[in-house]
């Protein structure tokens, strides 16, 4: 059995390469709702092994699921540098004044560098974004949504074995487009699972948070992202909290949005804003009771959020079980439900 390493900071452990999901479950002969689901019961520190299709039986009537309905865009473009070489340019986040956060992938870039894009468009790198060593603020002299629609492809990392179509990176309830990478905790939901949840008396509402590129190098802390919490979702969350029912976030993006949308009294209100909130064990959570999420990489900043919800001891137990039972990691992998 593989062991979690003891250290300060986010959880650290060895992730074997063969536990990285290299392709969508459909390519492995599984329906999207047949991925594995590990259920962490915080009340008795127990871990249960299920399939995602069992979710309606695991939850109880009155539970409220809150999901991120942001649709994934084809955010990877090919760019040509002045020396004629080509690189991948990942479009991350729209900023005010028609500026964008971009990632010139795996190269050393410099302020003022001009990158040529397909269709005659130009991207100029202006300044590094915040304290990042890989993200840049850029000006792009074209309709970026149109560029991505015409020439883009989904962002994919080396552990994915081939280029998959954009449809493989969408949830069944996807709404407004804007996420550079899929809010993957919701990928396993199918129309059948959603119908069964409704029959079991489990609520399901959505908000929107457009995710930027993942922090795979150096595990940077999350940066500012735009989000919307509609009044319907805010009121359903307030009602659930008042009734003592569980609010279950579908993904870390939902935790971030809901915790950012709290007023001074601790109640969630309808909000459209940008959030730079970093949730840590010392900060804790005020709104979210439980979390459905994927399995996160060693030392990832998201593990601090999981620790804020589950506690360090249970998180270590759960991840040791996930490694021992050979759950799959990343956006096409298995899922982890942390239940209060």
pLDDT value of position 2: 47
Residue 202 lies in a domain: yes
67 and 85, same domain (yes or no): no
For residue 39, how many C-alpha atoms fall within 13 Å in the half-sphere facing its CB? 18
Structural domain tally of the chain? 2
Residue 255's nearest CA partner among 264, 242, 268 is 268
91 and 230, same domain (yes or no): no
CA distances from 45 to 7, 98, 314 (A): 22, 48, 6
* pLDDT level of residue 1 (50, 70, 90 thresholds): very low
Phi, psi values for residue 305, rounded to 5°: -65, -45
58 and 96, same domain (yes or no): no
Q: Does residue 219 register a pLDDT over 70?
A: no
Q: Does residue 235 register a pLDDT over 90?
A: yes
How confident is the model over 145-167, as pLDDT tens digits? 999 999 999 999 999 999 999 99
Residue 189 lies in a domain: yes
Per mean pLDDT, which range of 1-5, 235-239, 266-270, 295-299 is the poorest?
Answer: 1-5
pLDDT value of position 265: 87
Q: Does residue 69 register a pLDDT over 90?
A: yes
CATH of the domain at 122: 2.40.10
**Across 184-188, average pLDDT:** 98
* Domain residue limits at 139: 76-151
pLDDT value of position 216: 47
pLDDT value of position 220: 61
**Cα 202 from Cα 89, distance rounded (Å):** 41
The set of residues, in sequence order, having a beta carbon less than 8 Å from that of 66 and lying 6+ positions away, is: 205, 206, 207, 233, 237, 247, 248, 249, 250, 254, 258
How confident is the model over 294-317, as pLDDT tens digits? 999 998 888 999 999 999 999 999
pLDDT value of position 133: 83
How confident is the model over 50-63, as pLDDT tens digits? 999 999 999 999 99
- The stretches of 210-251 forming alpha helices (DSSP H) are 231-243
202 and 237, same domain (yes or no): yes
Q: Does residue 8 register a pLDDT over 70?
A: no
**Cα 231 from Cα 51, distance rounded (Å):** 33
Percent of the chain with pLDDT over 90: 88
128 and 178, same domain (yes or no): no
CATH of the domain at 32: 3.40.1780.10
State the distance between the two ends of the chain, measured CA to CA, in whole angstroms.
27
Residue 284 lies in a domain: yes
172 and 262, same domain (yes or no): yes
**Cα 102 from Cα 91, distance rounded (Å):** 5
8 and 43, same domain (yes or no): yes
**Cα 130 from Cα 278, distance rounded (Å):** 15
60 and 135, same domain (yes or no): no
127 and 25, same domain (yes or no): no
254 and 280, same domain (yes or no): yes
Query: Do the beta carbons of residue 339 and residue 42 sit within 8 Å?
Result: yes
**Cα 106 from Cα 88, distance rounded (Å):** 8
91 and 29, same domain (yes or no): no
144 and 18, same domain (yes or no): no
Q: Does residue 168 register a pLDDT over 70?
A: yes
* pLDDT level of residue 132 (50, 70, 90 thresholds): confident
Residue at a domain's end among 151, 185, 208: 151
> What integer best gives the mean pLDDT of the chain?
94
Task: Say which DSSP state 147 is in.
Answer: H
**With DSSP H G I counted as helix, E B as strand and the rest as coil, what are the percentages for the chain, rounded to 5?**
25, 30, 45
The pTM for the full model equals 0.94
Q: Hey, is 320 helix, strand or coil?
A: helix
């Amino acid at each position: 059995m593989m062991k979690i390493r003891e250290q300060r900071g986010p959880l650290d452990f060895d992730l074997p390469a063969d536990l990285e999901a290299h392709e969508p479950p459909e390519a492995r002969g599984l329906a999207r709702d047949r991925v594995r689901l590990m259920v962490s019961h915080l009340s008795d520190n127990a871990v249960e092994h299920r399939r995602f299709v069992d979710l309606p039986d695991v939850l109880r009537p009155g539970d409220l699921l809150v999901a991120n309905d942001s649709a994934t865009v084809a955010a990877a473009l090919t760019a040509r540098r002045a020396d004629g070489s080509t690189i991948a340019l990942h479009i991350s986040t729209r900023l005010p004044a028609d500026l964008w956060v971009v990632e010139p992938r795996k190269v050393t870039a410099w302020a003022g560098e001009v990158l040529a894009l397909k269709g005659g468009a130009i991207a100029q790198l202006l300044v590094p974004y915040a304290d990042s060593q890989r993200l840049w603020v850029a000006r792009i002299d074209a309709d970026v949504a149109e560029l991505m629609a015409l020439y883009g492809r989904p962002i994919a990392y080396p552990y994915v074995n081939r280029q998959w179509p954009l449809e493989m990176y969408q949830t069944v309830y996807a709404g407004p487009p804007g996420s550079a990478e899929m809010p993957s905790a919701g990928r396993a939901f199918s129309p059948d699972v959603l119908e069964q949840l409704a029959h079991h008396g489990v609520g399901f509402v959505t908000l929107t948070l457009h995710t930027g590129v993942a922090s795979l190098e150096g595990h940077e802390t999350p940066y500012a992202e735009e989000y919307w919490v509609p009044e319907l979702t805010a009121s359903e969350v307030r009602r659930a909290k008042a009734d003592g029912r569980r609010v279950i976030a579908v993904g870390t993006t939902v935790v971030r949005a809901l915790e950012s949308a709290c007023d001074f009294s601790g109640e969630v209100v309808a909000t459209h804003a940008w959030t730079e909130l970093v949730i840590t064990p010392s900060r804790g959570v005020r709104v979210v009771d439980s979390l459905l999420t994927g399995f996160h990489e060693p030392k990832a900043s998201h593990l601090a959020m999981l620790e804020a919800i589950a506690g360090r001891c249970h998180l270590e137990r759960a991840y040791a079980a996930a490694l021992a039972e050979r759950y799959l990691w990343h956006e096409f992998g298995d899922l982890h439900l942390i239940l209060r």
